Amino acid sequence: MDQVAPALQQFLTEFKRVASAIVDSYFVVDSERRIVDFNRAFFALLPRQVARGLKGKRCYDVIELNICKSECIAQQCWRDNRHVRLDEISGSIIGEASKLRFILSAVPITDEHGNHVGALEIQRNVTDEAVVQVKYQEMLETEARERERLANQAQGLQTR
């Protein structure tokens, strides 16, 4: 991997002082979308064979999200030059079959001239919450159908 841009290295040095406060998984990419830093939570998401040699891999070679090809969140934050948040993003870890759901955030990292040198991407895994929400919605729909069926039965009894 090429050497990290000085401005990105400075960001990483300063960021390390507060990074432990972030409980969600995160990684930092350079302007070529190569992973230059990550936390233990991100590392733990990955199977061992993917996690090995993580630095230098492109983010889309590690985690495949439904936005990677069309609307990469790092590219969005660079284009708009601001923080970007995306909800209910689905994807999977390369080499894993299970689908995951995330809330994603990205913020551009710039040098002293405002040139983009990288991005910080944070992933909140909301897979379990999404599953519970779907089951809850299904339960409500089943309950509504049952209420309607009982109301129709009761109405049928009254008309006899």
**pLDDT tens-digit readout, 7-55:** 999 999 999 999 999 999 999 999 999 999 999 999 998 888 888 889 9
Closest CA to 37 of 13, 17, 64, 68: 13
**pLDDT tens-digit readout, 55-82:** 999 999 898 898 987 789 999 999 999 9
Phi, psi of 23 (to 5 degrees): -90, -20
Compute the C-alpha angle 124/126/127, nearest 5°.
130
Measure CA of the first residue to CA of the last residue in the chain; give whole Å. 81
Sequence ranges of the domains in the chain:
6-125, 127-160
The CATH number of the structural domain formed by 6-125 is 3.30.450.20
